[in-house]
Structure 1
Amino acid sequence: MYQRHFQLQQLPFGLTPDTRFFVPLQQHQDVLAVLKTALNAGEGFIKVTGEVGSGKTLLCRLLLQQAGRDWQLAYLPDPCLTPLELRWALALELGLQYSGNIDPPQLLQLLQRQLMLLAAQGKKTIVLLDEAQALPDETLEALRLITNLETEQRKLLQVVLFGQPELNRRLATYRFRQLRQRITFSSHLKLMSAKQVSAYLQQRMTQAGTDKVVFRSAAIAAISRYSRGIPRLVNVLAHKALLLAYGEGLPVVCARHVRLAALDTEDVSPKPKTLWWYGLLGATIFSASVAVAACWPAGIP
């Protein structure tokens, strides 16, 4: 695509939570510090919330990578589970084997036995639940009941809930008052400031292979404004703006490219008002496609 044009070794603004491109912003570092402190202290429930695209899944993966030697981690990325499916997902993550002959009471006994075995080995069993706002009510309650498994000295299971702000509204209801009282640490992931967006863009470009200043200051300001500091939207706008600059054969990204990218991107706010730019968007992307095709080696489909 545009890697060679901007002297990049790889695409700098992918949408997958790639820990190689982690930018240690202060808010991410703060949340990681809270998580590690709480988990080392043996706290039962910990909650991390943040807007869509703010980097919660990336933090979850970083935590998986930076786990202590005495941590036994169970990562559950799919929240759409029934209570029984939750218990089985946890059991499989902890090394138990599935069997259709095991009924729910037996499964709970096996889970308790496995948790006690891990505790005897000096392990802290920690469940990381991503997209926790989508957990069914019955599954949330089942999760609370599982954490009742404990010895006289410690909890056998710790839980980290990663979720969108909707999770706070659900937990604030009367039904979940017991679970709410068990959350001992809670953090909210803040969005990026304009200054952080600038540092974020440059560091991602550096990590991708170039130290050149590709984004002009006006383009950075436009990305910060349209993205509202949401990392995922920053990535989308930056990627499209780079593609547009490449299509025009320019070495830098201008504010005009960002406006065009914003017109073609959902959830940006505010939308650019100069709608006549939209007509240029299709033509520019077409030019970029023609340029890519022209550079493609002959004979390769």
Structure 2
Amino acid sequence: MYEAHFGLQEAPFALTPNTRYFLRAPSHGDALELLLVALREREGFIKITGEVGTGKTLLCRLLLNELEDDAYTAYIPNPHLGPEALYEAVAEELEIEVSHCSNTHQRLKAINERLISLAADQKQVVLVIDEAQVMEEKAIEALRLLTNLETETTRLLQIVLFGQPELDALLSRDSLRQLRQRITFHYQLAPLEKTSVADYLRHRLGQAGYNSGDLFTPAAVRLLTRSSGGIPRLVNILAHKAMLAAWGEGNTTVARHHVLRAVRDTESIRAPGLLGRWL
């Protein structure tokens, strides 16, 4: 669409998570480092939470890429499952045939045998669950049983939970206190800071092939930062729409009024009541 106009090789603000566009902003860089350190220490449960649009799924995929050479990973992106279906999903990710297993005990035994086999091959096993806030309470308890699978010297499975803040409310239930006590590391992703939004825009534009000066004027960046609240997904939406507006006018830079048009066109802005102050 506007790629050729701005000298880009591809659209820089697509909403599809692409690890090539990951920016090690303070919060996101710290979260990734915590994950890698905790997994090296063989901690059992790790939890990462963040508001909608803060980049949890992108961080999740980056973690899977980082672990690719050093660990055997299982990934469940849609965990709205009952306990039995959850065990079947874990078994499938671990390449275990459980069709012959007639009950929970047999499924757990099959998973345990596979984990012991991988441990014998010096393979660390990490189960990563995205959107964990949608999990059923019984399925979360089933996860706790999975972490009981260990030898005298080795933890056979580590679990990383990614979820929205509702995950904290779910885990605060008294019935889940045993699992809650096993979460040894937790990090809450924060929105991008003011200076990080400018870096974020430059980074994504650069990854898309842009090699000129700043495409967004300082005033445009300030308005985009305030209107998005630093939420990466909203930054992407507004930046894309503002570039469309600039392209439509034949401009080679994105100015404040282009961002304002994008803000007016976006229903998901956090504080639409502030629009009058920006006019």
User: Secondary structure of 2:159's partner?
Assistant: strand
Equivalent residue runs for 1:1-301 within 5 Å: 1-67=1-67, 69-99=69-99, 102-212=102-212, 213-271=214-272, 273-274=275-276
Kindly provide the amino acid, as one letter, of the partner of residue 247 in structure 2: Y
Q: Give, in angstroms, the shift of residue 127 of structure 1.
A: 0.4
Partners of 1:113 and 1:273 lie apart in 2 by 59
Q: Give, in angstroms, the shift of residue 257 of structure 1.
A: 1.2
8 A Cα contact 1:225 1:269, kept in partner = no
Q: Give, in angstroms, the shift of residue 269 of structure 1.
A: 2.6
Q: Give, in angstroms, the shift of residue 68 of structure 1.
A: 6.0
Q: Which residue is 1:280 aligned to?
A: none
Kindly provide the amino acid, as one letter, of the partner of residue 200 in structure 2: Y
Partners of 1:27 and 1:56 lie apart in 2 by 11
Change (3 A) 1:101 1:129: closer
8 A Cα contact 1:49 1:165, kept in partner = yes
User: Can you give the 5+ residue segments of structure 2 that lack an aligned partner in the other structure?
Assistant: none
Q: Give, in angstroms, the shift of residue 147 of structure 1.
A: 1.0
Select between 53-62 and 166-175 the one with higher mean Cα deviation.
Answer: 166-175
Partners of 2:167 and 2:59 lie apart in 1 by 17
Tell me how large the CA RMSD over aligned residues is. Answer: 1.6
Q: Give, in angstroms, the shift of residue 102 of structure 1.
A: 3.9
Q: Give, in angstroms, the shift of residue 253 of structure 1.
A: 0.9
Partners of 2:101 and 2:131 lie apart in 1 by 31
Partners of 1:202 and 1:70 lie apart in 2 by 32
Select between 216-225 and 98-107 the one with higher mean Cα deviation.
Answer: 98-107
Q: Give, in angstroms, the shift of residue 274 of structure 1.
A: 4.8
Q: Name the larger-Rg structure.
A: 1
User: Secondary structure of 1:31's partner?
Assistant: helix
Select between 146-155 and 99-108 the one with higher mean Cα deviation.
Answer: 99-108
Work out the percentage of aligned pairs sharing the same amino acid.
Answer: 48
Change (3 A) 1:67 1:263: same
Kindly provide the amino acid, as one letter, of the partner of residue 230 in structure 1: I
8 A Cα contact 2:98 2:110, kept in partner = no
User: Can you give the 5+ residue segments of structure 1 that lack an aligned partner in the other structure?
Assistant: 278-301
8 A Cα contact 1:32 1:63, kept in partner = yes
TM-score normalised to structure 2 length: 0.95
Kindly provide the amino acid, as one letter, of the partner of residue 4 in structure 2: R
Q: Give, in angstroms, the shift of residue 26 of structure 1.
A: 2.0
Partners of 1:223 and 1:208 lie apart in 2 by 20
TM-score normalised to structure 1 length: 0.88
Q: Give, in angstroms, the shift of residue 66 of structure 1.
A: 0.9
Select between 1-10 and 262-271 the one with higher mean Cα deviation.
Answer: 262-271
